[in-house]
């Protein structure tokens, strides 16, 4: 579903924020991406979703090149940034309708999905209010619903659990599992290693732009906790 | 195409006051939105009245035939400059970039939608001028109904070419800046160089015409305008279409506009993601070594924070520091070229003694410095970061004092140096020079404190794009209009009084007036800091 091949990204003077990153996420995978602050997680994620230009390597989504066929990639992908900058003066429902329009979702389907996820995240009653009046968590919920509205094949999330209440965190994890059971894939970054350990079947650890460990959870941890594995790999 | 329309509709909806009034649950916000609508309506009325009066003036002097050309030149010039200053923030480097670019919408389509958004948002301003000028023109030229319809239609098209030119220039600035490590600084410098070149290009253009022995044709504004339409063809096409009903000019203007639109966004679209990637992402140097850190007083800490805010933002830097740079350039140029020669160049060798202008030196310098006070928008620029100051043990008045201190640091040295340069060049006596310098400083104090009153009273934290508060904020507009009219009026008054009353006495009087106004404004700021007018919290 997602293939990152020899991806590198430099910011001026040859300093590499991502250095020869190779990751393969298959259908049904919940893939965790962990690393320190500034390790290169967001730089990689933003390149995957076609927001950040990159010079070296290739990224394929569902067999399409992010560089050469960005539209085909974006049509099957959903992205939730770490700090969603939504249109603050729109109401929640106006924003969801905007995204649904872009993905050309018919009215009955979008109404059904908004209802389903709105109720799951307990935000339906607030959808008529302006986004500017929302808390961080509420904005995050609207961003998540907007990501789910077109039933993506690949969901890419940057720190998705920050700001979510415990029930919504649980709901999101359930939705991620459900998506993967239906053949989609999830690729997300997180600092919450406990969540990653319980949720993901594959993990990659990135340090100073380089992948220092990756594979299935069992291969990587070898009976230890993910926290212990991460700290050991980090040394 | 369908997605482009959806995006454009959403962009417009996301910044519409109507949406706030309809859906916001915040009463203060609704009130501000309604107040904003009234304010905008008042400015529209002022612009329309001014445009009609200008046309009546043209008509009375038998120059009604030049009104279409004047309209075309005015619209084109305004469209160019407003767009150029808004490019960074609207077209490039905008806040919701990640969200938009992750959607399945072509890069060139996003860029074109952003452009169309800028166009539609500014169109009412251009139309208010154009339609008023049509009324003025109709009073004297009695055009047929077809011409009036053509005028309206072409007014919709006319601003697009200058807006495209400004966007393309903004694109080039962004493209060049994107290749450097310090993209923000390069972008700021390039923008400033361009504005300064535009500002002083008038002299080069005049010199150009002089070489062609066409000085006689520039004896009045009407002929200069007509001449400009010969250089800037779209303005000429507009004028010809609405005066002669020329079909070919109409088709040319429409066709070239469409062609340029397609070309520009095909070109911009190719590097759009690349440029935005470079502008929005910076490498962390990670090279800092812990060393001794200096302690600053609270006021200087806030002032220093303002300095970093100014230098960290291209729109803020270009708007906030441009007046100071122009004042400095003018001061130094006067010292090098000579006061008399500069006066002769600006007044087209008008037959009068340049010496009568010397009492106005502080006001000439202040005209540039006072164009913008950082205090008018710095309270609003706190935006979503306002909580940082709010949660700290700092009194509101200290925050505003720190912001005022920064504006004084920016303006006072420039005022002193520029005034000294002009006074030396104009051979002003030492006593008068001292008084002019003091008057300049007093005016800086007035600008700073009056700006702060406007900035605090019309503080707006919920902006999407900082250009909204730097260029279009209510605080900036309310500061600018009275300040500009007062300064222009005072300059004329000083020149007239200077011929009859002692310059020293008159300058002392103005120092007193400026100081009193500054003191009143300062006390107003302090009372605002105490009162409920200063927003206590943001949502």
**For chain B, what is the mean pLDDT?**
82
Whose CA is closest to B443, among B344, B335, B523, B362? B362
- At B105, the pLDDT band (50, 70, 90 cuts) reads confident
pLDDT of residue B534: 44
Helix-strand-coil split of chain A, %, nearest 5:
40, 25, 35
Q: What is the pTM of this model?
A: 0.70
A53/B273 touch (CB, cutoff 8 Å), yes or no: yes
Q: Which of B167-181, B316-330, B453-467 has the lowest mean pLDDT?
A: B167-181
Strand order through the sheet with A210-216: A77-80, A154-158, A185-189, A30-35, A202-207, A210-216
Task: Looking at the complex, report in whole angstroms how far the Cα of residue B19 sits from the nearest Cα belonging to chain A.
Answer: 7
Contacts of A51 in chain B (CB under 8 A): 97-98, 101-102, 273, 277
- The answer, yes or no, to whether residue A175 has pLDDT greater than 90, is yes
Residue spans of beta strands (DSSP E) within A171-209: 185-189, 202-207
A94/B13 touch (CB, cutoff 8 Å), yes or no: yes
B19, B25, B281: residue with CB nearest A90: B19
* Cβ atoms < 10 Å from Cβ of B41: 10
End-to-end Cα spacing for chain A: 32
Q: Which residue of A has its CA nearest to B463?
A: A88
B133 vs B480, higher pLDDT: B133
Bridge partner residues of B278 (DSSP): none
B257 vs B33, higher pLDDT: B257
pLDDT of residue A94: 87
Candidates A37, A62, A102, partner chain B, best to mutate (most B CBs within 10 A): A102
A50/B102 touch (CB, cutoff 8 Å), yes or no: yes
pLDDT of residue B296: 75
Task: Looking at the complex, report in whole angstroms how far the Cα of residue A51 sits from the nearest Cα belonging to chain B.
Answer: 5
Question: Which SS3 state, helix, strand or coil, does residue B7 take?
Answer: helix
Cα radius of gyration (chain B): 25
Interface A-B: count of C-beta contacts within 8 A: 110
pLDDT of residue A155: 93
- A168 and chain B in contact, CB less than 8 A: no
Of chain B, the percentage scoring pLDDT greater than 70 comes to: 86
A130/B24 touch (CB, cutoff 8 Å), yes or no: yes
CA pair distance B407, B310, nearest whole angstrom:
11
Beta strands A16-25 and A154-158 are unpaired
pLDDT of residue B217: 41
DSSP structure class, residue A24:
E
Residues 6+ apart with CB under 8 A from B294: none
Candidates B14, B105, B186, B386, partner chain A, best to mutate (most A CBs within 10 A): B14
Question: Which SS3 state, helix, strand or coil, does residue A59 take?
Answer: strand
A53, A70, A94: residue with CB nearest B274: A53
Q: Chain B interface residues facing chain A, Cβ-Cβ under 8 Å?
A: 2-3, 6-7, 10, 13-16, 19-20, 23-26, 29, 95-99, 101-107, 180-181, 273-274, 277-278, 281-284, 286, 462, 464, 539
Contacts of A88 in chain B (CB under 8 A): 14, 462, 464
Structural domains in chain A, sorted by start: 2-76+152-234 (3.40.50.300), 86-151 (no CATH)
Contacts of B180 in chain A (CB under 8 A): 12
- The answer, yes or no, to whether residue A112 has pLDDT greater than 60, is yes
pLDDT of residue B479: 87
Backbone angles phi, psi at B88, to 5 degrees: -80, 110
B3, B14, B273: residue with CB nearest A87: B14
- The answer, yes or no, to whether residue B209 has pLDDT greater than 70, is no
Whose CA is closest to A24, among A157, A171, A216? A216
Task: State mean pLDDT over B318-337.
Answer: 89
Residue B520: exposure state from Cβ atoms within 10 A (0-12, 13-18, ≥19):
middle
The distance from CA A192 to its chain's CA centroid, rounded to whole angstroms, is: 14
B352 vs B111, higher pLDDT: B111
Of chain B, the percentage scoring pLDDT greater than 90 comes to: 21
A12, A38, A74: residue with CB nearest B102: A74
Token pair belonging to B256: 């070239």
B3, B103, B283: residue with CB nearest A11: B283
Token pair belonging to B487: 């300064």
Question: How far apart, in Å, are the Cα atoms of B20 and each of A88, A89, B190, B466, B536?
Answer: 10, 6, 37, 18, 20
- The answer, yes or no, to whether residue B437 has pLDDT greater than 60, is yes
- A172 and chain B in contact, CB less than 8 A: no
Task: Looking at the complex, report in whole angstroms how far the Cα of residue A116 sits from the nearest Cα belonging to chain B.
Answer: 22
CA pair distance B195, B85, nearest whole angstrom:
10
DSSP secondary structure string, B108-167?
A: HHHHHHHHHHHHHHHHHHHHHHHHHHHHHHHHHH---HHHHHHHHHHHHHTTHHHHHHHH
B13, B105, B539: residue with CB nearest A133: B539
What pLDDT, in 10s, does the model give residues B503-537? 888 899 899 999 999 999 999 999 998 875 444 44
Task: Give the ipTM of the model, two decimals please.
Answer: 0.70
- At B36, the pLDDT band (50, 70, 90 cuts) reads confident
- A122 and chain B in contact, CB less than 8 A: no
Q: Is the dihedral of CA B34, B36, B38, B40 positive or negative?
A: negative
């Amino acid at each position: 579903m997602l293939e990152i091949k020899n991806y590198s990204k430099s910011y001026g003077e040859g300093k590499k924020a991502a250095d020869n990153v190779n990751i393969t996420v298959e259908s049904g995978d919940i893939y965790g991406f962990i690393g320190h602050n500034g390790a290169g997680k967001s730089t990689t994620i933003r390149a995957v979703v076609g927001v950040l230009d990159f010079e070296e390597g290739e990224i394929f989504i569902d067999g399409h090149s992010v560089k050469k066929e960005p539209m085909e990639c974006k049509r099957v992908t959903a992205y939730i940034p770490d700090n969603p900058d939504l249109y603050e003066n729109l109401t929640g429902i106006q924003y969801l309708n905007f995204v649904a329009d872009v993905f050309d979702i018919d009215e009955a389907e979008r109404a059904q999905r908004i209802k389903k996820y709105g109720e799951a995240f307990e935000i339906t009653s607030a959808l008529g209010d302006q986004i500017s009046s929302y808390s961080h968590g509420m904005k995050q919920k609207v961003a998540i619903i907007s990501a789910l509205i077109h039933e993506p094949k690949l969901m890419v999330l940057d720190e998705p659990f920050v700001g979510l209440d415990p029930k919504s965190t649980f709901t999101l994890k359930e939705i991620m599992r459900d998506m993967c059971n239906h053949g989609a894939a999830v690729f997300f970054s997180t600092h919450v290693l406990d969540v990653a350990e319980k949720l993901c079947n594959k993990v990659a650890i990135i340090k100073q732009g380089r992948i220092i460990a990756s594979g299935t959870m069992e291969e990587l941890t070898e009976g230890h906790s993910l926290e212990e594995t991460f700290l050991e790999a980090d040394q | 195409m369908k997605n482009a329309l959806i995006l454009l509709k959403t962009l417009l909806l996301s910044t519409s006051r109507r949406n706030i009034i309809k859906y916001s649950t915040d009463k203060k916000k609704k009130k501000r939105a309604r107040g904003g609508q009234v304010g905008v309506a008042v400015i529209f009325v002022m612009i329309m009245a001014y445009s009609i009066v200008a046309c009546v003036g043209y008509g009375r002097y038998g120059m009604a035939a030049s009104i279409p050309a004047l309209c075309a030149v005015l619209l084109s010039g305004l469209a160019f400059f407003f767009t150029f200053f808004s490019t960074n923030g609207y077209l490039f480097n905008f806040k919701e970039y990640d969200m938009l670019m992750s959607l399945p919408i072509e890069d060139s389509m996003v860029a074109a939608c952003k452009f169309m958004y800028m166009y539609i948002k500014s169109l009412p301003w251009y139309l208010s001028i154009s339609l008023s000028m049509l009324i003025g023109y109709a009073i004297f030229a009695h055009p047929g109904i077809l011409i009036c319809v053509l005028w309206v239609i072409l007014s919709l098209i006319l601003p697009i070419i200058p807006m495209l030119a400004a966007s393309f220039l903004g694109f080039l600035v962004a493209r060049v800046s994107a290749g450097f490590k310090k993209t923000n600084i390069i972008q700021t410098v390039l923008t400033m160089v361009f504005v300064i070149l535009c500002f002083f290009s008038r002299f080069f253009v005049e010199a150009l015409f002089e070489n062609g022995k066409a000085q006689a044709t520039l004896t009045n504004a009407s002929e200069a305008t007509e001449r400009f339409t010969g250089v800037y063809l779209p303005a000429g096409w507009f004028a010809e279409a609405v005066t002669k009903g020329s079909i070919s000019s109409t088709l040319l203007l429409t066709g070239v506009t469409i062609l340029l639109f397609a070309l520009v966004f095909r070109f911009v679209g190719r590097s759009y993601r690349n440029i935005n990637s470079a502008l929005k992402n910076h490498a962390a140097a990670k090279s800092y070594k812990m060393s001794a850190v200096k302690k600053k007083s609270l006021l200087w800490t806030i002032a220093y924070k303002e300095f970093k805010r100014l230098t960290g933002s291209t729109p803020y830097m270009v708007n906030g520091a441009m007046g100071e740079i122009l004042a400095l350039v003018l001061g130094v140029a006067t010292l090098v070229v000579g006061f008399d020669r500069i006066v002769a160049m600006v007044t087209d060798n008008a037959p009068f003694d340049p010496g009568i202008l010397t009492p106005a030196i502080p006001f000439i310098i202040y005209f540039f410095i006072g164009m913008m006070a950082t205090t008018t928008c710095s309270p609003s620029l706190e935006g979503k970061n306002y909580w940082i100051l709010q949660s700290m043990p700092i009194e509101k008045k200290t925050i505003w004092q720190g912001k005022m201190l920064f504006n004084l640091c920016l303006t006072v040295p420039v005022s002193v140096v520029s005034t000294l340069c002009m006074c030396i060049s104009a051979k002003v006596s030492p006593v008068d020079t001292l008084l002019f310098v003091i008057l300049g400083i007093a005016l800086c104090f007035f600008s700073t404190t009056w700006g702060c009153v406007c900035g605090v009273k019309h503080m707006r934290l919920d902006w999407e794009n900082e250009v909204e508060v730097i260029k279009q904020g209510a605080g900036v507009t309310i500061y600018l209009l009275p300040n500009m009219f007062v300064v222009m009026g005072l300059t004329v008054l000083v020149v007239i009084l200077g011929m009859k009353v002692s310059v020293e006495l008159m300058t002392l009087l103005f120092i007193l007036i400026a100081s009193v106004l500054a003191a009143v404004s300062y006390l107003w700021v302090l009372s605002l800091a105490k009162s409920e007018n200063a927003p206590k919290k943001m949502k």
